[in-house]
A = this chain, B = another copy of it.
Amino acid sequence: MSRFFSYRHTSLAPYTPGEQPQDMLYTKLNTNESPFPPSPAVVRAAEREAGRLQLYSDPACNALRAAAAAHYGVGPENIMAVNGSDEALYFAFHAFGDEKHPFAFPDITYGFYPVYADVLHIPAHILPVGEDLAIDPADYLGLGENIVLANPNAPTGQLLGTADIRRILLSNPDSVVVVDEAYINFGGESCVPLISEFDNLLVVQTFSKSHSLAGGRLGFAIGPEALIRDLNTLRYAANPYNVNRMTQAAGIAALEDNEYYMENCRVIRETRQYTAEALKTMGFEVLPSMANFVFARADRLPGGELYRSLKERGVLVRWFDLPRIRDYVRITIGSREQMDILLSAIEAIFDERSRKS
């Protein structure tokens, strides 16, 4: 830290993204990327813009928002495009949180929520999930605080139904409920249709996972017009040209090619079931997941050791060295071939250990 760094940040612990090591080629199952490339039309759309980069992108993202509005069945005034959904989450904390308006969220969830609260000096009200690591929606009834819920939750993959979200919205009418649907396309039901009913619902989605655009950076905030206007006020006070030309074009093409991506999601769900069953056969406990990853633990091997042994064998998974979940690893669902490499590697690790003991 420099001697000029503001006292406001001196205790700040930033988010640690999943590792992106460059030392060798890994079977990369650690950051929930899609095993499928973007569709050919998306590639062409991005390529077409590469020759026009001397011109600014549209800060209002009008064409992209029109396409997204048609896709989500809302108006363009209900949508803000962002440089990855993290940006939308940051703006949501910034817009609706302050000393008197905390954000409540589970202890086991996306690791960025406490960081946003911290950097923006918003109190965090952390509610422990159950023994099974599941969120109990009853904990969020009548809180009278802003709430952010990843649904399905990360890193557990567990899903709340829209009926539960609706109860939470109804019982916190004077607070904003942010539903982070980064993984919704892998088996969950989206809350987007509820935005016409609730003035306090903000839905955040990303094209990083289901729509194969992690490296393009595209997310959306979807909500009632007044909430979107608030987020835009902050976006125009920070970085209005936040989504570049190539990504705006790629996003429009991805929305037009939605069937390609939904078919990919279907394959990933199948591969998830295959992987979960194989892991269970090998003695793992696997949490029920509606995301493109599974959260699993093996009684005979602590999470950290499994993570390190897999990395030595060229397979990257995500391990969180945190209370309550230290025994687990989070495994992205890649292609069937990638999952077979993972399963073989685990088998080899188990074999080696039983020979040693």
**The one of B9, B146, B213 that contacts A53, using a Cβ cutoff of 8 Å:** B213
Q: Is the CB of B240 within 8 A of A15?
A: yes
**The one of B6, B15, B118, B226 that contacts A98, using a Cβ cutoff of 8 Å:** B6
Interface centre among A33, A58, A245 (most CB of B within 10 A): A245
Against B, the Cβ 8 Å flags (1 = close, 0 = not) of A22-62 are 10000010010111111000110011011111111111101
A111 to B126, CA, bound (A): 39
Q: Number of copies of this chain in the oligomer?
A: 2
A34 to B55, CA, bound (A): 7
Q: Which residues 197-242 of A have a CB within 8 angstroms of B? A: 199-200, 208, 212-217, 224, 226-227, 229-230, 232-242
Q: Is the CB of A17 within 8 A of B241?
A: yes
Q: In the complex, what residues of B have CB within 8 A of residue A244's CB?
A: 83, 215-217, 244, 246-247
Interface centre among A33, A46, A175 (most CB of B within 10 A): A46
- Interface of chain A, helix or strand or loop or mixed? loop
22 CB < 8 A contacts A-B: A3-B226, A4-B95, A4-B176, A5-B96, A5-B233, A9-B237, A14-B237, A17-B59, A17-B240, A20-B59, A37-B52, A37-B53, A42-B53, A43-B50, A46-B50, A50-B50, A53-B212, A54-B215, A83-B239, A83-B242, A118-B237, A214-B241
Measured between C-beta atoms, what is the minimum distance from A203 to chain B in Å?
A: 15
Q: In the complex, what residues of B have CB within 8 A of residue A86's CB?
A: 238-241
Interface residue count on the A side (C-beta < 8 Å):
91
Q: Is the CB of B214 within 8 A of A54?
A: yes
Q: Is the CB of B227 within 8 A of A95?
A: no
- In this assembly, does A138 line the interface, its C-beta being within 8 Å of a C-beta of chain B? no
Residue of B nearest to A54 (CB): B212
Known A4-B230, A14-B235, A86-B239; 9 more pairs at CB < 8 Å: A2-B230, A4-B200, A6-B94, A31-B56, A34-B54, A49-B215, A84-B241, A90-B239, A119-B238
Instruction: List 5 tightest A-B contacts by C-beta distance, closest first.
Output: A14-B236, A2-B226, A215-B245, A54-B212, A46-B50
A20 to B237, CA, bound (A): 18
